Amino acid sequence: MAKNICITRIENLLKKSSIKTIKKEEIMNTIKTVMAEKKLSSINEVDVDAVAKDVTSQMKLQKQKDKINAIKDEIIVRKYQERILTNFDGNEFEGLASIMVGSNDQITGARDSVSVAQTSAIANLFTEANQAFKKEGVFLLFKDMDEKTQRIVNRTVEELAAEPTLTEQRLGQKPRVTEKNPEIIKVAKVMHEFSENLRQTLNAKGANIPKMWGWVVKHSNDMFEVRSAANRLGLKLDDIKVDPNLKGTDINYNKNFTAWKNFAMQGLDGDRTFANADDIDSFMLNVYNTLVGNKIQMAEGASSIYGSRNYAKGAGAKRILHYKTADDWFNYHLKFGTGTLQEAFYSGIMTAGRNIGMIDKLGSRPIDNFEKIRLGVQKVLIEKGRNTQAISSFQPFKKWMNVIDGSIYTVDNFALARFGAIGRGIGNVSKLGGAAVSATSDLAIYGSEMKHQGDVFLGSMADAMAALARIRQTPEFKDIAEGLGFMMDGIITDTASRNQVGDNMSKGMTDIQRTFFKLNLLTWWTNTLKENAMLGMANYYAKQKNLKLNELNKPLQNLFNVYNIDSVKWDVIRKQAMTKASDGREFINISQLDNISDLDMQKILGRSDLSKSELQIQKTNFKYSVSGILIDRSIHAVIQPDARVKGVMTQGLLKGTGMGEAIGFLGQFKGFPMALVNMVGGREMGFIKKGPNQDIGRGIRGMGATFVTLVMMGYVAMSLKDLLKGKEPRDPRLKSTWFAAAAQGGGLGIYGDVLFREQRDSGSIVSGIVGPGATTIADVLLAINYGIRGEGGKAGKAAYRAVSQNIPFANLFYIKTAFDYIIGYQIMETMSPGVLKRVERRMKKDYNQEYLFTKPSIKNKGF
């Protein structure tokens, strides 16, 4: 980039300036940024002294912000050190883990964690955005915008965010908006105001994000499209010429970078984007690597948030691509963004929520602060002569930090990660067709969770069944649930993660899975039960509103204690946050907590020296913490892996690494049983570990009741599956039936066709336990082995299994049986004559079970 004559003149003027206290390089970098932002291209437009003073002021403000952040960080560090040393005495490792991902120990604040704060912040931001659109009467328009409307809305957002001209300022007018449709203007206004409020919220928490139109959607980048830029742009790799000086040995990577860069540069505002860049190619390559690795989604602290700048370090343009116009940005978004403008909006909210939860709990420098906490605790223990081996290193905690800061969603080797994700995606849509039937055991877990909170076990199960029988909730109660922080499953993570830790997937694969989980009814099942769980809990808490904390039943007192809800907080909740539905039932109303008085907030905090803005931040934090209880307990009632389980399952390893992919395949479909053991079993173990006889007894009783009910519901799920296959239920008088029911209810139900499929070779059961990928490989190897040995029947049977069990959508429970009766049994008999009779004999011997209708062996003799 040619050196701007204006910059040279400013440098000369600065030499004569009276400004002595700030480094020349820092102030020059910042002046370049300010000039670019204000689009000042001529020295005649610049009052150098005014700009220099403005820059100096900004730099002082940054230093002040850094100082405030440092003070807040120190408060957080000391607070956690005291909490761990006091509440987790003797189990400091668990105390440190609880900061990030919560703990099942029955200890004050054990679940008041970063992960719960992040989930709650995301859910509440979604709710607030949706309610803003609904208030303006444009939610449906926003949700269903076509591409043309998206472009117009995007353009209008930019116009609304523009600085008024001098004439407009003199006349007291707002910036001119060219769009005439008032409904579209309302959509753009909500998007603009929500984005701006969110930017200001993050700045109040320690970030330094300059005003930027459409800040929320600017996060939008699809790593898959960016990595395959040439294909996305319809270019042939052979036709792309690469700079010979470009580093790296992967020529296709370099060509895709070149294609992406050339396209992106067409619409970029170079002065703003490269104001402080010494080398444009290096700058763009750094951005490209960040996008391909999905690192833009990470939550690493206040200074790393998208757009956040640090004047003192001259990093004003880090990771930001500024476009000339809204249309230029939208043209880029159509090629490389995350789907529609709506999806980009929600994606940006999700990233912001993750950052908010991280900063609120671990401050502006999360990893550094966690290490200070760990080292501080370790130092005290050493002084007391205690063993500190368990907490002597950050390494054991890294797997959980990688979950909460988003590292596990980044990618090391893109190609390996992509093919691994595709393989697991195919596994999902070819093997989870009966997942909703297997999920019958959710009813037992639902009842167990409500009993844990002091409600009635069987009554809660009956309530869950009634919710399922209703099919869908009324609009009034849907609104109440949304206000509590409930989010409908609109993305894969909430459904697929019930059985695995999610992958980064392309939009096409994401849409396929979303459709599949709707067709197999798992989305409906999960939504219905989670929504009902949150409504049930909100109603249950509201029924206690006339009781002080020490008057509540013991289970509910214990529950509030692990989320740091003390008597002062409960008094505010029960007096402030209640609403009554049209049928007379009362519910906790999270939105009412926005109206907490300053005096009540001061009582909660035990401080009276906070400013109005600080009090507002604390009110929002309190609101999110109450919502977090409902959200966190809902994933215990309708089980799905929480952040702690995800950390254990992934070990914090990145996708695209050899071990990361191996663990991904090993853990596929095991999310539910892992969560069951860690979250439900761990919950009851928390009482057993607590100590006194009544707590030990409660833990043992809770574990026993949950296990017995799971086995019963496992038998129900097995029977439903058998009926769908045209079989009579298994004989309940046989031990083998109840062993199978225990496995089914305990989370292995999705392996039913692997572990308990009678026609399967017994040697492959181990492969089934290892994972579906290993099962398929075992079938292929068996087919090859049998073929070499000349055993055509066995080879054909193994090959048929390998193919039939990996056909997407063919495993849907209402398709599978029809397929088997129409053609599947015929193929099986052709491949291995007599197999159907052998299956029938084994069914009779092992489970005293017959087919309800005509036996398959009678009708199917092969082709």
User: pLDDT tens digits for 326-365?
Assistant: 999 999 999 999 889 998 999 899 999 999 999 999 999 9
CA distance 196 to 194: 5
Distances (CA, A) of 685 to 98, 663, 673, 813: 16, 27, 16, 36
Amino acid at position 34, single letter: V
Distance of alpha carbon 122 from the chain centroid:
9
**Res. 50 pLDDT band, cuts 50 70 90:** low
CA distance 762 to 777: 15
Q: Is pLDDT at 274 greater than 90 in this prediction?
A: no
Predicted local distance difference test score (pLDDT) of residue 434: 86
DSSP state of 676: I
CA distance 787 to 796: 8
**Res. 759 pLDDT band, cuts 50 70 90:** very low
**Res. 32 pLDDT band, cuts 50 70 90:** low
Query: Smallest Cα–Cα separation from 685: which of 183, 91, 49?
Result: 91
What are the structure tokens assigned to 471, written together? 């099919």
pLDDT mean over 43-67: 66
**Res. 35 pLDDT band, cuts 50 70 90:** low
Q: What percent of the chain has pLDDT over 90?
A: 40
Distance of alpha carbon 163 from the chain centroid:
35
**Res. 53 pLDDT band, cuts 50 70 90:** low
Distances (CA, A) of 428 to 501, 507, 764: 12, 16, 20
Residue 863 neighbours by CB distance under 10 Å: 9
Helix, strand and coil percent figures for the chain, each rounded to 5: 70, 0, 30
Contact 828, 759 (CB under 8 A): yes
Predicted local distance difference test score (pLDDT) of residue 754: 38
Distances (CA, A) of 651 to 149, 266, 291, 673: 44, 42, 23, 17
**Res. 64 pLDDT band, cuts 50 70 90:** confident
Contact 128, 156 (CB under 8 A): no
Distances (CA, A) of 374 to 341, 397, 586: 42, 10, 43
Predicted local distance difference test score (pLDDT) of residue 512: 86
Q: Model pTM?
A: 0.86
Backbone angles phi, psi at 628, to 5 degrees: -60, -35
pLDDT mean over 739-755: 60
Question: In this predicted model, what pLDDT tens digit does every residue of 814-862 receive, in sequence order?
Answer: 888 888 888 888 888 888 788 889 888 988 988 888 988 888 888 888 7
The Cα angle at residue 462 between residues 448 and 680, in degrees rounded to 5: 15
Contact 276, 315 (CB under 8 A): yes
CA distance 350 to 123: 8
pLDDT mean over 636-663: 90
Query: Smallest Cα–Cα separation from 669: which of 410, 426, 414?
Result: 426
DSSP per residue over 246-281, as a string?
---S-HHHHHHHHHHHHHHHTTB-HHHHTTT-S-HH
H-run or E-run covering 578: strand 578-580
HSE-up (13 A, CA, CB side) for residue 218: 24
What are the structure tokens assigned to 790, written together? 């000349």
Least confident residue range of 88-102, 138-152, 836-850: 836-850
Residue 61 neighbours by CB distance under 10 Å: 12
**Res. 491 pLDDT band, cuts 50 70 90:** very low
Looking at per-residue pLDDT, the higher value among 796 and 285 belongs to 285
Query: Smallest Cα–Cα separation from 629: which of 724, 536, 534?
Result: 534
pLDDT mean over 747-759: 42
Q: Is pLDDT at 298 greater than 60 in this prediction?
A: yes
Query: Smallest Cα–Cα separation from 61: which of 206, 276, 272?
Result: 206
Most confident of 466-480, 635-649, 770-784: 635-649
pLDDT mean over 458-484: 88
Q: Is 212 exposed, middle or buried, given 0-12, 13-18 or 19+ CB atoms closer than 10 A?
A: middle
What are the structure tokens assigned to 715, written together? 């038998």
CA distance 163 to 172: 12
Predicted local distance difference test score (pLDDT) of residue 330: 96
Q: Is pLDDT at 19 greater than 60 in this prediction?
A: no
Predicted local distance difference test score (pLDDT) of residue 223: 87
Predicted local distance difference test score (pLDDT) of residue 338: 82
Amino acid at position 384, single letter: K
Q: Is pLDDT at 112 greater than 90 in this prediction?
A: yes
The full length of the chain comes to: 863
Contact 764, 738 (CB under 8 A): no
Handedness of CA 367, 370, 374, 379 (dihedral sign): positive
Question: In this predicted model, what pLDDT tens digit does every residue of 225-246 receive, in sequence order?
Answer: 999 999 999 999 999 998 888 8
Looking at per-residue pLDDT, the higher value among 790 and 198 belongs to 198
